[in-house]
Amino acid sequence: AQKVTQAQTEISVVEKEDVTLDCVYETRDTTYYLFWYKQPPSGELVFLIRRNSFDEQNEISGRYSWNFQKSTSSFNFTITASQVVDSAVYFCALSEAGGSQGNLIFGKGTKLSVKP
Amino acid sequence: DSGVTQTPKHLITATGQRVTLRCSPRSGDLSVYWYQQSLDQGLQFLIQYYNGEERAKGNILERFSAQQFPDLHSELNLSSLELGDSALYFCASSPSFTSGRPGAGELFFGEGSRLTVL
């Protein structure tokens, strides 16, 4: 069965600290996609990244970086030099490309609070 | 701005009532998805439409129904509302090249419709 686990419910850091949000997934498919979304206090869901199961290269986008490791079924997200504007709930999600269910399975989310 | 428009943004109603939530996908996107976000269940997939046809169904209650119209906008109808239906309802769309499979492309979410049932 598909499952996404974000074990960290809440994280609080001080501005400029680095923070890593953990995501562990379960799937029986060999082809799948992983996502991270951000939900700021305003409520909308903002797409951050998509990664397919055949591409294990780490990705960096500004202060954001993602570490995908198939061996441990993890897709962790690191924010470097965090800022107050990074305060949000972050969701990791999984989609099985070959599945009949055309939907994303979301984790419960990690609430990140960045204090000045 | 994701390009997905949802109305209304907020809705307060009473138990037993019926409401309709509306979604306009991004220009050119053929797929529309509905998700429910509640405190206890988190983000749950409800239903997907692709070019007017139902493509996939998730944890959608029988009291809920949806449709996608020829102009590609979608409506989610919630009836016989209960207190537990209070939630944030999101609509999302995905690029047409995915042929209705979200794995090939990311979902773009609207700002959501917050439903409060009193």
The pLDDT tens digits along chain A (116 residues) read 789 999 999 999 999 999 999 999 999 888 888 999 999 998 889 989 888 888 888 888 899 999 999 999 999 999 999 999 999 999 999 987 654 445 788 999 999 999 99
Q: Supply the pLDDT for residue B12.
A: 97
Count chain A–chain B contacts defined by CB atoms under 8 A: 72
Q: Supply the pLDDT for residue B59.
A: 84
Q: Supply the pLDDT for residue A86.
A: 97
Task: Tell me which residue in B50, B56, B109 faces A101 most closely, judged by beta carbons.
Answer: B56
Q: Supply the pLDDT for residue A26.
A: 95
pLDDT < 50 regions, chain B? 102
Q: Supply the pLDDT for residue A97.
A: 65
At a CB cut-off of 8 Å and minimum separation 6, what does A85 contact?
A: A114
CB A72 within 8 A of CB A104: no
The answer to whether the Cβ–Cβ distance between B103 and A97 falls below 8 Å is yes
Identity of the residue numbered B24 = S
Task: Tell me which residue in B101, B107, B114 faces A97 most closely, judged by beta carbons.
Answer: B101
Q: What percent of chain B has pLDDT over 90?
A: 72
CB A48 within 8 A of CB A36: yes
Question: B69 burial class (0-12, 13-18, 19+ CB within 10 angstroms)?
Answer: exposed
**Chain B stretch 91-110, residues whose beta carbon is closer than 8 A to a beta carbon of chain A:** 92, 100-110
Q: Supply the pLDDT for residue A104.
A: 85
Say how far apart CA A68 and CA A107 lie, in whole Å: 16
Cα angle for residues A97, A102, A108 (degrees, 5° grid): 95
